[in-house]
Each structure stands twice: as C-alpha cells, then as structure tokens.
C-alpha cells in the first residue's frame, strides 16, 4: 500500500496507475476506521482494480469546535487496517494541503431543499464543508467510482447532487449501514461513549427496527411519535430530530403513500456525543 502524505505524492502514485488503465475506486474517510469504513473498501476492491482511500479530518465540515477537537484519530491502526483489507493507495493530507488558501471564504454550494432539512438544518455549514472537500478530493483522485455509506444518508444525496451539478464522470455507490451485534450503527464517535451510554445507545437502532414493524400497520404520525417517545424515554438519550422523508427529495412526508420509498432519519444526543442513524420503511 502506498501512503501519500501530500498532493504531489498522490498525483505521482495515481499517474502510474492511470497509465496502466486501472479502474479506480475511492473511499473518502475521516479515519478512526471501523468495520463500516472497511465494508466500503471491500465494495471498492470487489468492483475496481485499484482502491484509493483518504483519511482527512475535514475541519470545515465541523460546525461544533468541541466535536472537531475530540474527533478520534488513530492513524497507525487505520493504515494497518487499510493495508490488510486490500487498499492500494491512501492519501493522508494536512489541512494546508487541502486548504492552501486557508479555510475561510471557501466556494459556496447551494443544494437547495436537499440541505435545508435534517443534518443541514441542525449543522449549519456542514454540507458545504463536505461538498468543498469531496469536490477537491474528487479533482485530485479522479476516481471512476466513489463509495459512501448509507449511514450518512443525506450526505449521499448531497454528493450525488454535487456530481450531477459539476458533471463529474464519477459513479457514486451507496453501501449498506454496518452495525454492531446489538444494532448500533458503527461510527467513529462511538468510542467516545461511556460504557453506560454505549449500552443505551443500542436503543436507537432497536427503536428504528421496531418502527419498521409498526409501519406495516400504523399511520406515519403514530410511527413518528413512537420513535421520538421511545428514544427520549431512555435517560441518556435525547432526540434532536426524527423525520420520515422521501428517499430522493429528502423532504418530510405525512402519509406513507407520499413516497415511493420512505426513510426514517434520526439524530440523537447521547451525553456529549451526537449520533445519527436511519432506516428504510418497507411497506
Ligand atoms: P466518516 O469517516 O465518518 O466521514 O465516514 C466515511 C465513510 O464511511 C462515509 O461514506 C460514511 O457514510 C461511511 N460509514 C461510516 N459509518 C458507516 C457504517 N456504520 N456503515 C457503513 N458506512 C459507514
């Protein structure tokens, strides 16, 4: 595995691969890698002949400075995991590499109603920061395919829209959520939970699974209220939002029939840690 710590090293490594006509798969991450990230690497190695990953804690997508400061960083373990799982090239840039002109006055994207809801509404500036870094990474790596996790459901929609608007010849592949054995969606932030919080956090996904069953027989409003009340009844958990949305427009629906595919998206504060999860309602 080639580890590139700056742009020039990355471009040199990619030049060689591209002249060999390799199909390049790209997996952008912020590190502190877990089985969810590694599943994206596996999807890429299955579909492409070269897999490039990036590890970059992107400061401009954090709307909360404490979250940025406490974001877990485990570079040595990450590199070991990537190598063991067939990653060919990893790009680990410094902030100055991605933002040579600084992190202020960056390009501004407008994703319309895709970014005015859920994560976009509760984390001002978050998706602009995501779009800025993803576009810069795409421009450097120029992958054929890029792999993202459905855990960040709204992010996938934003990235697809970015690719569409910028007319980038990149296929976006959305991969399933990888969960712990008790159902908790894997997240780099899970390591910041206390043992008690970690136990209680499983109630988030367990409630979503129960809601999936409830949705077979109940109206949407009943299911919505059930999720909010059940999670809020757990002392360590506080729902920031739960919404049931159309999976392509991301807009809130009030009847199951209003969407071809309805998805329930939740953000929950577990002590000082904010977690997100989502579930598709099959009816
Ligand atoms: P992050 O390092 O949190 O920016 O995540 C990098 C990529 O991994 C994103 O595309 C995430 O959606 C994806 N990812 C994170 N957690 C999971 C998970 N539990 N299952 C599948 N993909 C995930």
Which pLDDT value is given to residue 38?
Answer: 98
Q: 0.75 cut: is pTM over it?
A: yes
- Other Cβ atoms less than 10 A from the Cβ of 18: the count is 13
Q: Which of 34, 37, 43, 126 is catalytic?
A: 37
Which pLDDT value is given to residue 183?
Answer: 98
- In tens, the pLDDT along 141-188 reads 999 999 999 999 999 999 999 999 999 999 999 999 999 999 999 999
Model confidence at 18, pLDDT cuts 50, 70, 90, reads: confident
Q: Give, using CA atoms, the residue closest to atom 14 of ligand 1.
A: 149
Model confidence at 91, pLDDT cuts 50, 70, 90, reads: very high
Protein fold of 188-278: 3.30.1300
Identify whether 42 is a catalytic site residue: no
Beta strand extents in the chain (DSSP E only):
2-4, 24-29, 50-55, 89-91, 145-149, 171-175, 237-246, 262-270, 273-281
129 lines ligand 1 (CB under 6 A): no
Q: State the average pLDDT for the chain.
A: 97
pLDDT exceeds 90 at position 208: yes
Angle of the 126-141 helix axis to the 153-166 helix axis, nearest 10: 60
Cα 19 to ligand 1 centre (Å): 30
Going from N- to C-terminal start, the domains of the chain cover 2-175, 188-278
190 lines ligand 1 (CB under 6 A): no
| Distance separating alpha carbons of residues 92 and 1, to the nearest angstrom | 13
SS3 readout for 182-249: CCCECCHHHHHCCHHHHHHHHHHHHHHHHHHHHCCCCCHHHHHHHHHHHHHCCCCEEEEEEEEEECCC
231 lines ligand 1 (CB under 6 A): no
Q: DSSP string of 151-183?
A: GGHHHHHHHHHHHHHHT---EEEEEPPPB-TTS
Model confidence at 235, pLDDT cuts 50, 70, 90, reads: very high
Domain 2-175 indexed as CATH 3.40.50.150: no
Model confidence at 283, pLDDT cuts 50, 70, 90, reads: confident
- In tens, the pLDDT along 243-278 reads 999 999 999 999 999 999 999 999 999 999 999 999
Rounded alpha-carbon distances, angstroms, from residue 193 to 35, 89, 172, 267: 18, 31, 31, 15
C-beta separation of 219 from 262 below 8 A: no
33 lines ligand 1 (CB under 6 A): no
């Amino acid at each position: 595995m080639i580890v590139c710590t700056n742009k020039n090293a990355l471009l040199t490594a990619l030049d060689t691969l591209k002249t060999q006509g390799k199909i390049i798969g790209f997996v952008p991450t912020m590190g502190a890698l877990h089985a969810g990230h590694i599943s994206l690497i596996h999807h890429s190695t299955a579909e492409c002949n070269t897999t490039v990953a990036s590890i970059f804690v992107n400061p401009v997508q954090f709307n909360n400075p404490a979250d940025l400061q406490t974001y877990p960083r485990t570079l040595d373990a990450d590199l070991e995991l990537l190598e063991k799982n067939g990653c060919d090239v990893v790009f680990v840039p410094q902030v100055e590499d991605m933002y040579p002109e600084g992190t202020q006055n960056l390009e501004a994207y407008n994703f319309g109603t895709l970014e005015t809801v859920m994560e976009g509404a509760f984390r001002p500036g978050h998706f602009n920061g995501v779009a800025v870094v993803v576009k810069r990474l795409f421009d450097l790596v120029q992958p054929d395919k890029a792999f993202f996790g459905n855990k960040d459901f709204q992010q996938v929609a934003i990235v697809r829209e970015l690719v569409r608007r910028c007319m980038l010849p990149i296929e976006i592949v959305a991969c399933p959520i990888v969960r712990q054995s008790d159902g908790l969606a894997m997240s780099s932030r899970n390591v910041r939970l206390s043992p008690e919080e970690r136990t209680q956090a499983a109630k988030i996904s367990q409630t979503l699974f129960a809601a999936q069953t409830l949705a077979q027989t109940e109206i949407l409003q009943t299911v919505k209220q059930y999720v909010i009340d059940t999670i809020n009844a757990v002392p360590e958990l506080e729902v920031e939002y739960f919404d049931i949305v159309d999976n392509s427009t991301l807009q809130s629906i009030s009847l199951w029939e209003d969407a071809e595919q309805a998805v329930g998206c939740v953000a929950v504060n577990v002590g000082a840690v904010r977690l997100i999860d989502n579930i598709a309602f099959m009816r």
